[in-house]
Chains A and B, each alone.
Chain A
């Protein structure tokens, strides 16, 4: 493949992806409102991710406290461990790790499910029945992603900070007042808003990229496998790239 063809292909693919996003956003504002489908997706993306989010967040908080204590103790600043854990969680790790976890657990499932529907002609069947497939399939997932990611991120933050508390207070013998008091004085509303804004954007990225990749899957089982892999890789990369730009904008 020569350079020109590759460039055209990337441009075409990018254009199609943005058109898909635009169609999804526009369809979100048009009836019928399929609330049952939205709730079903909230349950699938959110409720069924609770365990993995709780597990990763508690260990993320614990390791952050352990590493933070080790680093801060070199400068005699152990008292800043609470704010360090909380700010890292709220501003950065909460939204990013939640996004990556949801990509792995729910995003891959979204891409695979839509991919199978595509190759088994179920998406064409919707079209023939006069049911707009983007409205029926992509919109509920998109709305669920918007609602669920910020909520899961909040949960990740809280459990992560609690994991840090376990290590700092129970293991390293720091006083609970120092740990929690530092958090209260250091964390501002702006930090929380930044984290939630990121979570919202990652919710869009995950459901958009994974729905798109599955929706346009081709060529049988191998095509679905390829769509799922590229959905997970692209969403993860886009989460990290957009994380940088959101951080830069909101500092």
Chain B
């Protein structure tokens, strides 16, 4: 295979992607500082509380998820990130407070209405949640077969395209237990993207992966965003890397929102809790040991 002398290499493309995105993030911060109201929220939580097994997990969460931006939710383990994500998609109902999508209270919906709303979402679960009895192709095709009426040939085209996007071409016939952790996450990501949802929620997409695959997945998320402009919410512990790959950051601490704003602003925050978390220091206001 020959390469055209002027065509960019993959490395150059990746660098260009990072530059384009960091320019976007700067613009986003400027826009947010000039007029926060100009950043339109698509999802919001107001005064949400939740108890699980007698423990208060969410203690009055107020947050907005900006439309057509990548939002990262960060915080120490047990701060309520995954529970927040499950509230955003309506998998959990709050004890009190409101979770709203485009101003519509998700708590007031049930049956077919909540199913219709959920089809606007995709959720990448922390463990991938691929179906063990289906191979990679059928897993990725599953939401198309179950929720759309498109033809099998169209499904085949889209699934193969999605697998190529996540660099899993040729893995269609493998079963989830034959995949590595990184492949499993990428297959789950392909399934999350295949329906072209309005909002994609990603629960620790890089947890347990090596730094190279972690970086590759961040590139993939970012490239997908630049291509589709889909609203994305990412829960991540990949600090400080995540600050490079999102527009907006929400910091959760002890079931409350500690800070929320553009990534660059949060990264420069002087709050001792945020500083300790970003630097990963054992000593500080957060007592772990």
Interaction A to B: yes
Residues on A lying within 8 angstroms of B by beta carbon are 116-117, 120-122, 124-125, 127-132, 136
Bin the interface of chain B by size.
20 to 34
Say whether B121 contacts A128, CB under 8 Å.
yes
Say whether A131 contacts B91, CB under 8 Å.
no
B92 to A: closest C-beta gap in Å: 10
Q: A128-B122, A130-B146 are in contact. List 5 more A-B contacts (CB 8 A).
A: A124-B123, A127-B91, A128-B89, A128-B123, A131-B147
Interface of A is mostly: helix
Say whether B146 contacts A122, CB under 8 Å.
no
Q: Is there a chain A Cβ closer than 8 Å to B47's Cβ?
A: no
Q: Is there a chain A Cβ closer than 8 Å to B241's Cβ?
A: no
Query: Which of A122, A128, A130, A132 is the one whose CB lies under 8 Å from B131?
Result: A122
Query: Which of B116, B125, B195 is the one whose CB lies under 8 Å from A125?
Result: B125
Say whether B115 contacts A125, CB under 8 Å.
no
* In the complex with contacts A122-B131, A124-B91, A129-B146 CB distance below 8 A: yes
Q: Which residue of chain B has its CB nearest to the CB of A129?
A: B143
Say whether A128 contacts B91, CB under 8 Å.
yes
**Can you show 19 pairs from A to B with CB atoms below 8 A apart?**
A116-B132, A120-B129, A120-B132, A121-B126, A122-B129, A124-B86, A124-B125, A124-B129, A125-B125, A125-B129, A128-B89, A128-B91, A128-B118, A129-B118, A129-B122, A129-B142, A130-B119, A131-B146, A131-B147
Give 7 nearest A-B pairs by CB, closest first. Answer: A130-B119, A125-B129, A121-B129, A130-B115, A128-B123, A130-B118, A121-B125
Set of chain B residues within 8 Å of A131, measured between Cβ atoms = 143, 146-147
B152 to A: closest C-beta gap in Å: 14
Complex Cα–Cα for A117 and B89 (A):
19
